[in-house]
Amino acid sequence: MKKNLLFMSGLVAMLLSSCDQDITNVINLPGGQDTTTPAAQKEVSFTASMDGMNTRAVETTIANLGSFKVSALNNSPAYTIMQDVKYTSSDNGQSWVTDAGKFYWPASDVYRYHYFYAYSPDVPGKEGKINILQNYPSLDDFVPNETAASQKDFVYATAKGNYKDDSDSPVNLVFKHALTEISIKAKNANADYKVQITGLKLGNIVSKATFKFPALWSSDPEEWYGFTNAPKKDYTTTWTAPVTLTSEASSLDAANVPFMLIPQQLTANKENPALGNYIAAKITVVKDNQTIYNGWSYVAIDTTWEMGKHYVYTLDFSNGLGKNYGAVDIAVKAMKTSVSVTDWVSKDEGVSLEKK
């Protein structure tokens, strides 16, 4: 028989086993007296959905969510019904179950609210620690994985309920995206030269911050913080076979999957894009059968990346080739960039590279 003990401030969870070896968690309220009767027992269950649209296969959807962990708190905060319990789905998110046993709404205090915090995946990045039991539940010192292909879509959900009003229905967890998704496309409608791309880079991006879940017992919203003196890094994707640009915006290579990064305010350096936030493309430019440039070309960007939004940048090489600020100026005119945004839901914005 599998036993599971939950220790909570002012609460004791007693584990009882029935004939079929199922585990039942009966919650005893302060004072040690079990005031939950069989007739009053109402099991806590969950439904899950995803807030916003889903735009690519590696994004988290309800169908591929797979699992999440959930805790219930009071406003002290202290754990109440459950602590970091893992739920899984074998039917693409239609139903959710746990091996940790059954959990019941405490019937002794029917008006007391319980605040549910859920998240997925268990390990959302290269670094970061989930801290649920504190004044503001948080993901502390989060660092995304190094490559776009390995970066994960960290999602979270919150809900509240009490025995009187909510115990007859499942707790509905609506998951939201905590990160920003960034895609980069490119095109060239100028027949005078050929542009080939073998890599893309996002430069000087804040790579560590803390995510604060919303405090359900107050009006404090979710937010990212800890940007002062935060480390920065470049995120690069490269591939082997050059992609020749056409007048149609191209997603380039199968390796060019979107980045999942920390929401933040970008700052452009117009004089030298490589010193601020930028997009760089690793390009080879051929004119009159001669390779006139082979290297990185930069464009400054100053977008505000928001949580749960998908930014799609399109680099347009039709009227200019950008600059390599560490070497030779190859710009004839400004290279244009557009960007679109949606709530996992795409946003397009315009950016231009100007000749120095």
- The Cα 212–Cα 177 span in angstroms is 13
Q: Which amino acid is at 169?
A: S
Query: What residues form DSSP beta bridges with 202?
Result: 235, 279
**Which CATH number fits the domain 7-177, given the four candidates 3.40.50.2300, 3.40.50.300, 2.60.40.2620, 3.10.310.10?**
2.60.40.2620
Q: Which helix (H) or strand (E) holds 62?
A: helix 62-65
- The Cα 71–Cα 117 span in angstroms is 5
15, burial (CB in 10 Å: exposed 0-12, middle 13-18, buried 19+): middle
**Residue 264 CA to chain centroid, in angstroms?**
13
Q: How many residues does the chain have?
A: 356
What is the architecture of the domain spanning 181-353?
Answer: Sandwich (2.60)
HEC assignment per residue over 95-153: CCECCCCEEECCCCCCCCCEEEEEEECCCCCCEEEEECCCCCCEEEEEECCCCHHHCCC
- The Cα 20–Cα 256 span in angstroms is 51
- The Cα 114–Cα 77 span in angstroms is 10
- The Cα 272–Cα 354 span in angstroms is 10
Confidence at residue 19, expressed as pLDDT on a 0 to 100 scale: 31
Going by C-alpha positions, the residue among 92, 100, 85, 86 that lies closest to residue 66 is: 92
Domains 7-177 and 181-353 share a fold: yes
Q: What is the pLDDT along the chain (356 residues), one digit of tens a residue?
A: 433 333 222 322 222 223 332 222 222 222 223 334 455 678 888 878 777 644 343 578 888 888 999 999 988 888 889 999 999 999 888 889 999 999 999 888 899 999 999 999 999 999 999 999 877 899 999 999 999 999 999 999 999 999 999 999 999 999 999 999 999 999 999 999 999 999 999 999 999 999 999 988 888 899 999 999 999 999 999 999 999 999 999 999 999 999 999 999 999 998 888 899 999 999 999 999 999 899 999 999 999 999 999 999 999 998 887 766 444 444 434 455 666 665 665 555 444 333 32
The answer to whether the beta carbons of residues 237 and 200 sit under 8 Å apart is yes
**Residue 177 CA to chain centroid, in angstroms?**
5
Domains of the chain by residue range: 7-177, 181-353
CB atoms within 10 A of CB 189: 12
The token pair that represents 85 in the structure block: 């319990």
* Torsion of Cα atoms, 104 then 105 then 106 then 112, to 10°: 160
The token pair that represents 343 in the structure block: 């709530």
Place of tokens 């099991």: 43
Confidence at residue 55, expressed as pLDDT on a 0 to 100 scale: 39
pTM of the shown model: 0.82
Confidence at residue 320, expressed as pLDDT on a 0 to 100 scale: 80
- The Cα 65–Cα 48 span in angstroms is 10
